[in-house]
């Protein structure tokens, strides 16, 4: 504005050409000529210029048409903006199509200027205000740190994890083995330990260890990361895809960490992650203590004033990494399989889909995000974890017995009963069938008594029909009460009588 006022003051004074004024003031003689023409056309005086504010003066001498009459319509800038997203479409092509429809339309330069003015309003950036203790932004740096194997000299690249608190911008940096789930969760847990508390929410990028799907408003988080958030009583709010401004804090933190920490370590050789992290810690403390350039204090000081008092307390126990099996189907025996072992769940969940969470020591089963079973983790293939409370009443009495206990019980009853039980356990087509038959014998002894059961077992062995149905038939018909059949070693004193020939006997000749 001062340049316009100076040009007008010289023009009102007179005595100098446009080129002379341009050389003194540093402006184009064409601009000075235009200002002089507008001054004369509008009849503006020097007193009026002195009374004008900057906006009025600018609109008076630099006004450009931003509207048009009905005879000269402007292009639809919104449609134009969407068309430009198509590959190969340019502003010049759209302007040519516009002039084909409106031959007396505006020039290409004018349309381009008006479109750029309209489009700039779409990219207005809002500075986010972060409340103390509300958010922790987490991400991985694009730049990695080389780790050298001391024995083979092989070089592997360590991932650099960065976490930044929203209100104070205090930063945590850690070198990790990879971006896989165990390393990702461990880095987040270490960050919370470093800050000494838990924020209300964690804002990650969309890496697979954190977010499985994030599109069109549908967000599916990694169940292990959800389990992590549940343990620390916080929530996960991932940034929108291709929206880096959603996590601008950590984006800026990553850039600064690369300059102030990783750049200083560029010439050092590290033989392990522990060595790298030992070198990072003092540089990180120095970085957080570095004073801001535009405001007073440092990241560490602001953290103590703002974020630290607002953080929630850490849980009493650190997070333990857990593996998940999602959508496991409950079998008809109300067992869930995990890595070759079987874990019992309540019987009413038969044929339902459940989620299995396994740590180093425990296996938990969840149905619709509610824990329904917890067992000590088994490690031998085929082992079964049983809880009698999960069984229906009709099945619970089976769980009281084991093969060893059944054989010991048979020995206490008698030799015949022991032989029958051993035979049933060994010769049934399926072990479960023999086990159930033996348990059924125990139930029969409660009804008929141990003495009669031993007698019936002896009869079954003598007639070579060692089955549950035979023993039940012997007990119900009272055949075991016949004195001559009580002892297995006793032989019959009466020879068996031969059947007299009759018409139903075919004889040996029939089979010759």
Report the C-alpha gap between 59 and 73 in whole angstroms: 22
Single out the residue of 177, 180, 136 nearest to residue 160, CA to CA. Answer: 177
Strands (E) across 216-361 are located at 218-221, 235-236, 323-329, 335-338, 341-344, 353-358
Single out the residue of 266, 272, 275 nearest to residue 144, CA to CA. Answer: 266
- The CA-CA-CA angle for residues 56, 58, 62, to 5°, reads 135
Instruction: Kindly report, residue by residue over 451-467, the tens digit of the pLDDT.
Output: 888 888 888 888 888 88
**What are the respective helix, strand and coil percentages of the chain, to the nearest 5?**
50, 15, 35
pLDDT of 233 reads 92
Instruction: Kindly report, residue by residue over 279-336, the tens digit of the pLDDT.
Output: 999 999 999 999 987 677 899 998 998 899 999 999 998 888 888 888 899 987 788 9
- The CA-CA-CA angle for residues 412, 413, 418, to 5°, reads 85
> Rounded to 5 degrees, what are φ and ψ at 121?
-70, -20
pLDDT > 50? residue 381 = yes
- β-pair type (155-165, 135-140): antiparallel
Cα 152 to Cα 4, 125, 146, 272, 480, distances in angstroms: 73, 50, 14, 13, 80
Report the C-alpha gap between 495 and 283 in whole angstroms: 105
Report the C-alpha gap between 456 and 512 in whole angstroms: 39
Single out the residue of 281, 298, 287 nearest to residue 253, CA to CA. Answer: 287
Look up residue 384 and give its two tokens. 């079964």
Whether the Cβ atoms of residue 324 and residue 355 lie closer than 8 Å to each other:
yes
Q: What is the DSSP string of 181-212?
A: HHHHHHHHHHHHHHHTSB-SEEE----TTTEE
Q: Please state whether the predicted TM-score (pTM) of the whole model is above 0.75.
A: no
In the three-class reduction of DSSP (H, G, I as helix; E, B as strand; rest coil), residue 291 is classed as: strand
pLDDT > 60? residue 491 = no
In the three-class reduction of DSSP (H, G, I as helix; E, B as strand; rest coil), residue 341 is classed as: strand
Which of 210-219, 403-412, 472-481, 501-510 is predicted least confidently?
Answer: 501-510
Instruction: Kindly report, residue by residue over 193-211, the tens digit of the pLDDT.
Output: 999 999 999 999 888 888 8
pLDDT > 60? residue 129 = yes
Provide Rg for the chain, Cα atoms: 45
């Amino acid at each position: 504005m001062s340049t316009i006022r100076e040009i007008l003051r010289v023009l009102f004074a007179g005595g100098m050409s446009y080129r002379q004024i341009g050389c003194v003031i540093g402006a184009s003689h064409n601009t000075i000529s235009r200002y002089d023409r507008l001054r004369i056309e509008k009849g503006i005086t020097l007193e009026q210029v002195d009374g004008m504010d900057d906006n009025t003066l600018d609109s008076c001498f630099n006004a450009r048409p931003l509207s048009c009459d009905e005879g000269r319509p402007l292009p639809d800038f919104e449609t134009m903006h969407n068309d430009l997203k198509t590959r190969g479409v340019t502003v010049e092509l759209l302007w040519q199509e516009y002039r084909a429809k409106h031959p007396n339309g505006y020039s290409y330069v004018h349309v381009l200027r008006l479109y750029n003015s309209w489009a700039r309003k779409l990219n207005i950036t809002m500075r986010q205000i972060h409340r103390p203790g509300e958010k922790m932004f987490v991400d991985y740096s694009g730049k990695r740190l080389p780790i050298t194997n001391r024995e083979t000299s092989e070089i592997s690249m360590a991932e650099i994890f960065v976490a930044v608190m929203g209100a104070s911008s205090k930063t945590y940096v850690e070198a990790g083995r990879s971006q896989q789930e165990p390393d990702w969760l461990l880095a987040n847990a270490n960050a919370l330990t470093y800050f000494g508390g838990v924020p209300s929410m964690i804002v990650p990028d969309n890496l697979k260890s954190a977010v499985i799907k994030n599109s069109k408003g549908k967000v599916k988080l990694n169940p292990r990361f959800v389990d992590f958030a549940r343990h620390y009583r916080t929530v996960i709010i991932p940034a929108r895809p291709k929206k880096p401004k959603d996590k601008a804090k950590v984006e800026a933190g990553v850039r600064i960490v690369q300059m102030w920490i990783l750049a200083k370590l560029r010439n050092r050789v590290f033989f392990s992650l522990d060595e790298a992290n030992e070198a990072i810690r003092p540089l990180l403390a120095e970085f957080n203590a570095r004073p801001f350039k535009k405001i007073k204090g440092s990241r560490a000081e602001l953290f103590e004033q703002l974020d630290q008092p607002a953080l929630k307390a850490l849980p009493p126990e650190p997070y333990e990494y857990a593996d998940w099996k999602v959508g496991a189907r409950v079998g008809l025996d109300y067992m869930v399989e995990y890595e070759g072992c079987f874990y019992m769940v309540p019987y009413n969940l038969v044929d339902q889909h459940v989620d299995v969470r396994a740590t180093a020591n425990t296996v938990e089963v969840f149905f619709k995000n509610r824990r329904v079973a917890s067992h000590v983790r088994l490690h031998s293939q085929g082992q079964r974890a049983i809880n009698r409370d999960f069984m229906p009443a009709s099945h619970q009495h089976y769980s009281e017995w084991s093969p060893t206990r059944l054989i010991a019980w048979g020995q206490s009853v008698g030799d015949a009963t022991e032989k029958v039980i051993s035979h049933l356990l060994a010769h049934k087509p399926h072990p479960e069938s023999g086990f159930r038959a033996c348990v059924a014998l125990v139930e029969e002894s409660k009804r008929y008594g141990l003495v009669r059961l031993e007698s019936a077992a002896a009869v079954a062995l003598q007639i070579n029909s060692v089955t549950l149905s035979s023993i039940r038939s012997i007990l119900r018909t009272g055949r075991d009460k016949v004195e001559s059949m009580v002892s297995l070693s006793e032989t019959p004193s009466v020879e068996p009588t031969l059947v007299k020939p009759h018409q139903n006997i075919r004889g040996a000749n029939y089979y010759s």
